[in-house]
């Protein structure tokens, strides 16, 4: 297998975790898919450092693209979440509807977190990354990851439950 074929296979294998991470940042599947596409395009068109794990590099690129877009939206004052614009989905069953409502509520609460807390919470709680992997991906000390995660969990609990209840 050529180096190019190996790179494409490796890139294809990281699409599911990259898509989950993008969704955790955007809380919208269409936006997440766009973000993944931008990330893959960036990885394919620009050099990737030799000494970096591709998945960690992809998370970093994805995060940076999301931050750029987030900042641009804030500048344009277009960062509101409009549920009317989402595609209507047919769902059957009370459990499915309640779960969807809870996920939307959590997504909205996560959007109100500061960006640094949001990304750490997304990488650890949604993506399932370790503290060390998160620290390496974000290029920050592990203690900073732990601190941001603690603050994010506390703020999320406050928003969701009106209490300082610990989230795990």
Helix axis angle, 54-75 to 15-26, nearest 10°: 20
Is the pLDDT confidence value at 54 over 50?
A: yes
Q: What per-residue confidence (pLDDT) applies to 112? A: 87
User: What residue segments make up the domains of the chain, in order of their start?
Assistant: 1-85, 89-168
The predicted model scores a pTM of 0.51
Is the pLDDT confidence value at 90 over 50?
A: no
| Class of domain 89-168 as given by CATH | mainly alpha
69: Cα separation from own chain's centroid: 13
Q: Residue 134 CB: number of other CB atoms within 10 A?
A: 25
Pairwise CA distance, residues 137 & 81, whole Å: 28
- Which of 30-39, 59-68, 159-168 shows the lowest per-residue confidence on average (mean pLDDT)? 159-168
Q: Give residue-wise pLDDT tens across range 128-152.
A: 888 998 998 889 999 999 999 999 8
């Amino acid at each position: 297998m050529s180096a190019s074929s190996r790179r494409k296979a490796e890139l294809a294998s990281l699409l599911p975790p990259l898509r989950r991470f993008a969704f955790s940042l955007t809380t919208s599947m269409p936006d997440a898919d766009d973000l993944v596409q931008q990330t893959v395009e960036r990885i394919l068109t620009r050099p990737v450092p030799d000494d970096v794990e591709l998945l960690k590099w992809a998370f970093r690129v994805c995060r940076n693209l999301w931050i750029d877009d987030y900042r641009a939206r804030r500048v344009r004052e277009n960062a509101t979440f409009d549920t009317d614009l989402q595609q209507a989905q047919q769902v059957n069953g009370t459990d499915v509807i309640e779960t969807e409502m809870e996920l939307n509520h959590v997504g909205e609460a996560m959007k109100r977190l500061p960006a640094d807390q949001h990304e750490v919470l997304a990488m650890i709680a949604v993506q399932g990354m370790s503290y060390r992997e998160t620290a390496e991906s974000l290029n920050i000390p592990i203690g900073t990851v732990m601190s941001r995660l603690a603050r994010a969990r506390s703020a999320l609990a406050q928003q969701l439950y009106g209490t300082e209840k610990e989230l795990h």
